A and B are shown apart, each in its own frame.
Chain A
Amino acid sequence: MKADDMHVSGAPHEAPATEAVLDSLLEHVLHLDSGMRILWANTAACASAGMAREDLRGQRCHEIWAGSPLPCGDCPVVRAIRTGQPHDVEKTTPDGRAWYIRGYPLRDDAGRIRGGVEITLEITQRRQAELAVREKEERLRLALEAANEGLWDFDPQTREVFYSPRWFTMLGYEPDAFPQVYETWLELLHPEDRAVAEERVWEHIQRRESFNLVFRMRAAGGDYRWILAKGDVMSCNAGGDTRRLVGTHVDITDLKRAQEERQALVHELEEKNAELERFLYAASHDLKTPLVTIEGFLGLLENDLDAGDPTRRREDMRIIHEATERMKRLLDEVIELSRAGRVIDPRAGISLREVATEAVAQVAGPLRARGVAVSIAPDLPIAYCDRVRLLEVFQNLVENAVKYMGDQADPRIEIGIRESAGGPVITVRDNGIGIEPRYQLKIFDLFDQLDPTQEGTGLGLALVKRIVTVHGGRVWVESEGPGRGATFCFTLGAPPEAPDAPGGGEPGDTGPDPPASA
């Protein structure tokens, strides 16, 4: 075929070989004059119009295919004739079919444009396929959005990663706030999680396994969010050498928090339950003890009455009386202990110095009787806790100190404060008999008394422990051993949503414990 064959003028086409070529195409081929009249149409075009070639000749193409008296506004042939350049367009006809149309100008030997050639390919199927893909993508995007998941697609060879907008926004960043590379992920990982997470990712790429990983990532506010990453390894070529890791991110911080809260609650309940069991055990034992005494000595009293022994009789009655007194005291303290679990008004800031002073005044009798000198540090802080309960704490600690003063010639009690890493520590220090290390935990247990000859029920320090614990604090005793005195220490938990700390703790003032101020 000569190249000139395409540059024929408006004359009818007379080249059978060329026609045969054009007739074999799937594309519609039209030869049009400058008025859009059809001079020649190939077989595909005739079939599309449902007309014979002879009948098409002389018709205007827009009348046949667009049913319009005027040329289509975007007709590429019209534009080609006007500009002398090829043009193309994709369009959908009213019957729903999609077309790709190219228009070429057709020149005569003098180079003047005499008409045009239109080549049209039906792309309905291709369009539908494209649409289907787009719909799928859209559906995936919607699903990810609905599930609040961010998408990532990692190419280990280039270390490039596609991070979806949601991937960024779930951490509070603008979409594309960071480069789409592997290092972005590494950079945002919590330093403690980095090594493990990275190791796991490469391990999964190596083994071509899907994975499920939880780690923390730094959010825009500087805080860390818990992220659940799920992913799968995909092979990109037939050999499977080139692998990609594709997956999602979900923010599970709230879930984690809820889990942690639940665990803490369960733990608290278990502890409470155990405490209740211990209490029931101890209480039943300690209530039974005076009962055995009372019953026993009533029996002995009867014998002694029969034997007419007045000394023993008086002794029997004294012991019975003591046992009932003890039961009474025990009941009172059990009631007190049950109240200790209730915090009445923790939000009011109270002066610990005032409370300590009041507690000391209440123990004035025993203090005076034993000649104990008490000092209270002037810098005791304001605390956010239940005043009545805290009064009981000081009172019990001071009473305890007096009780175990021993034969100290110069008995002293100092109430003070010291700073520690965990906040201010309130101290009640005495120079009494002290306490061996092995008993330093046991003394806070219910009903435990080191010295059975001492008055009391063994509930005092248990009560102190309970009140302090309910306030979110800790209580313990420090003593270098027998004869070296004892320091009872306790902390109080953080104030409830109070902007200023309860203690006078200055920022940074958390060095080693200085000696108690007093």
Chain B
Amino acid sequence: MPRRSHGEPLRILLVEDEPAHAELVMRSFEDHEIPNRIYHVSDGEQALNFLFRRGEYADRNHCPRPDVILLDLRLPRIDGLEVLKEIKADDDVRHIPVVILTSSEAEMDIAKAYDYHVNSYLVKPIDFDKFTRMMETLSDYWLVWNHA
């Protein structure tokens, strides 16, 4: 994949059906020292359309390849695991790190996500401070330290 050139903002695809949670995540990244840009879609179908540049996202200028994907599990239309499966089955996008960000601590979900080659699985903490810290660590790890 083309490496992010210097000075370009980080691109994050946020797949989250709960508007309040999307807002929480986006606000956490607002004050981040690394410039970033969040692309928010609210269901699995939109997520796949964005990644594969179909339908409403056919214009590639408006939907660049993200540097990381934050993916909720319980999504309308096509659920998170299905989205993950399709991403990891596609040669063009499977190298993009996918981080599951969900409320579900169900072992089944975790096991399946790793079966489908997820890169990381995070459970949304209820506590605000922890939530904020998690978002910071997340961006540091995937956007600063990690080489994609």
Minimum Cβ distance to chain A for residue B125 (Å): 8
Q: Are A285 and B104 in contact (CB-based, < 8 A)?
A: yes
Q: A296-B131, A299-B131, A300-B24 are in contact. Are A291 and B126 (CB under 8 A)?
A: yes
Contacts of B126 in A (CB 8 A): 288, 291-292, 295
Of residues 116 to 130 in B, which have CB atoms within 8 Å of A's CB atoms? 124-129
Contact with B along A305-345 (1 / 0, CB 8 A): 00000000000000100110000000000000000000000
Asked if A167 lies at the interface with its beta carbon under 8 angstroms from chain B, I say: no
* Cα separation A452 to B131 with both chains bound (whole Å): 23
Per the bound structure, the CA–CA distance linking A289 and B21 in Å amounts to 8
Contact with A along B33-70 (1 / 0, CB 8 A): 00000000011000000000000000000000000000
CB distance from A216 to the nearest CB of B (A): 43
* A419-474 at interface with B (beta carbon < 8 Å): 439, 447-453
State how many angstroms separate the Cβ of B21 from the closest Cβ of chain A. 6
A448 cross-chain contacts in B, Cβ below 8 A: 76
Q: Which residues of B contact A297 (CB under 8 A)?
A: 20, 24
**A298 surroundings in chain B (CB, below 8 A):** 128
Question: Which residue of A285, A292, A439, A451 contacts B24 across the interface (Cβ within 8 Å)?
Answer: A292
Q: How far is the CB of A412 from chain B (nearest CB, A)?
A: 26
Question: Interface digits, B113-148 against A, CB 8 Å rule (1 contact, 0 not)?
Answer: 000000000001111110110000000000000000
Q: How far in angstroms is the closest Cβ of chain A from B56?
A: 14
Could you tell me the distance between the alpha carbons of A289 and B132 in the complex, rounded to whole angstroms? 16
Interface of A is mostly: helix
Q: Which residues of A contact B88 (CB under 8 A)?
A: none
Q: Contact at B124–A292, with CB atoms within 8 Å?
A: yes
- The minimal Cβ–Cβ distance linking A259 to chain B, given in whole angstroms, is 33
User: B27 near A: Cβ within 8 Å?
Assistant: yes
**In the complex, are the beta carbons of A293 and B128 less than 8 A apart?**
no
Contact of A452 among B17, B27, B124, B132 (CB under 8 A): B17
Interface band, chain A: 20 to 34
Q: Contact between A295 and B127 (Cβ–Cβ < 8 Å)?
A: yes
Residue contact A288 to B76, C-beta cutoff 8 Å: no
Flag whether A281 is at the interface (Cβ < 8 A).
yes
A305 to chain B, nearest CB (A): 14
Identify the closest chain B residue to A296 (Cβ).
B24
In the complex, which residues 16-38 of chain B have their Cβ closer than 8 Å to any Cβ of chain A?
Answer: 17-21, 23-24, 27
Most buried by A among B76, B125, B127, B129: B76
Chain A residues whose CB sits within 8 angstroms of the CB of B106 once the complex forms? 281
In whole Å, how far is A250's beta carbon from the nearest beta carbon of chain B? 46
Tally of contact residues, B, Cβ under 8 A: 24
A293-B24, A450-B77, A452-B76 as given contacts; A285 in contact with B103, CB under 8 Å = yes
Q: How far is the CB of B6 from chain A (nearest CB, A)?
A: 31
Interface string of B89-128 (1 = CB under 8 A from A): 0000000000000011010000000000000000011111
Smallest distance from the beta carbon of A400 to chain B beta carbons, Å?
15
| Complex: A133 Cα to B21 Cα, angstroms | 90
Q: Cβ of B74 < 8 Å from any Cβ of A?
A: yes
* CB contact list, A143-193 vs B, under 8 A: none
Q: In the bound complex, do residue B76 and residue A292 qualify as a contact, i.e. CB atoms below 8 Å apart? A: no
Q: Determine which residue in B18, B24, B106, B128 has the highest number of CB atoms from chain A within 10 A of its CB, and name it.
A: B128
A319/B23 contact (C-beta < 8 A), A285-B103, A292-B103, A450-B77 known: yes
When distances are taken between beta carbons in the complex, the residues of chain B under 8 Å from A439 are: 77
Chain A residues closer than 8 Å to B43, beta-carbon distance = 452
B18–A452 touching, CB < 8 Å: yes
Give CA–CA (A288, B124) in the complex, Å: 9
Query: B23: which A residues are within 8 A, CB to CB?
Result: 319
Task: Choose from B20, B27, B103, B104 the contact partner of A322 (Cβ within 8 Å).
Answer: B20
Nearest-Cβ distance from residue B60 to partner chain A, whole angstroms = 26
Q: How far is the CB of B131 from chain A (nearest CB, A)?
A: 6
B74 touching A451, Cβ below 8 Å: no
Do A323 and B129 have beta carbons less than 8 Å apart?
A: no
Q: Which residues of B contact A453 (CB under 8 A)?
A: 19, 42
With known contacts A289-B103, A439-B77, A449-B76, A296–B128 Cβ distance under 8 A = yes
Chain A residues within an 8 Å CB radius of B125: 292
A299 partner residues in chain B, CB cutoff 8 A: 128-129, 131-132
Q: From B19, B20, B74, B76, give the contact of A296 (CB < 8 A).
A: B20
Q: With the chains together, A293 CA to B43 CA distance in Å?
A: 18
Alpha-carbon gap, A300 to B27, bound state (A): 9
Least CB distance, A458 to chain B, in whole angstroms: 9
Task: Please give, as numbers and ranges, the residues of chain A lying within 8 Å of B131 by CB-CB distance.
Answer: 292, 295-296, 299
A32 CA / B17 CA spacing, docked (Å): 123
Asked whether, in the complex, the Cβ of A293 is within 8 Å of the Cβ of B17, the reply is no
Pick 24 A–B contacts, CB within 8 A, sort by A.
A281-B104, A281-B106, A288-B103, A289-B103, A291-B126, A292-B24, A292-B125, A293-B21, A293-B24, A295-B126, A295-B127, A297-B20, A299-B132, A300-B24, A319-B20, A322-B20, A439-B77, A447-B74, A452-B17, A452-B18, A452-B42, A452-B43, A452-B76, A453-B42
Residues of A in contact with B (beta carbons under 8 Å apart)? 281, 285, 288-289, 291-293, 295-300, 319, 322-323, 439, 447-453
Q: A295-B131, A300-B27 are in contact. List 15 more A-B contacts (CB 8 A).
A: A281-B106, A285-B103, A285-B104, A289-B103, A292-B124, A296-B128, A296-B131, A297-B20, A299-B128, A299-B131, A322-B20, A447-B74, A450-B76, A452-B18, A452-B19
